[in-house]
């Protein structure tokens, strides 16, 4: 149901949407704003934070990528060669070091699997 009337929020005459839970009638922008505020209050809008690939390099057949994972607040160091790939979680503090010296952060078994010296 919508009709032209005075918005309870901004006072402009617009097409209004009646909000059952508040009993107020808002225009569309106000209604959206109200919903956003409500959702934020209730912690409903926990934007699913996407993982972000920060860095990538390719050295002598070894591809190293560093991905920031906001949901865990850590980074994922991934190393791949043509034959294998492995990854490990690193803290934010050691992320840059891990990216530049990935072999120091991978287990011997992983390094052996990758087939790099």
Binding site for Zn ion (CB under 5 A): 7, 9-10, 27, 30
Question: With respect to Zn ion, which residue has the nearer C-beta, 7 or 77?
Answer: 7
Task: Report, in Å, the least distance between residue 2 CB and Zn ion.
Answer: 13
At its nearest, how many Å lie between Zn ion and the CB of residue 6?
Answer: 9
Q: Return the number of the residue (11 or 70) whose C-beta is nearest Zn ion.
A: 11
SS3 107: coil
Q: Which long-range contacts (CB under 8 A, 24 or more apart) does 93-100 make?
A: 95/54, 95/66, 95/68, 98/66, 99/55, 99/57, 99/64, 99/66
**CB 101 to Zn ion: min, Å:** 57
Comparing CB distances to Zn ion, the nearer of 30 and 79 is: 30
Give the nearest distance from C-beta 23 to Zn ion in angstroms.
15
DSSP 52-94: EEEEEEEETTEEEEEEEETTTTEEEEEEE-SS-EEEEEE-TTT
- Reading the block at residue 85, the tokens are 């790939």
Q: For residues 30 and 110, which CB has a smaller minimum distance to Zn ion in the complex?
A: 30
């Amino acid at each position: 149901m919508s009709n032209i009337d005075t918005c309870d929020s901004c006072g402009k005459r617009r097409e209004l949407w009646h909000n059952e839970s508040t009993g107020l009638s808002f225009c569309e922008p106000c209604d959206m704003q109200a919903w956003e505020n409500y959702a934020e209050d209730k912690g409903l809008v926990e934007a699913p934070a996407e993982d972000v690939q920060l860095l990538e390099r390719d050295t002598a057949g070894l591809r190293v990528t560093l991905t920031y994972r906001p949901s865990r607040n850590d980074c994922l160091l991934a190393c791949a060669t043509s034959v294998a790939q492995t990854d490990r979680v690193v803290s934010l503090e050691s992320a840059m070091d891990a990216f530049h010296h990935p072999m120091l952060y991978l287990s011997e078994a992983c390094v052996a699997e990758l087939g790099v010296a």
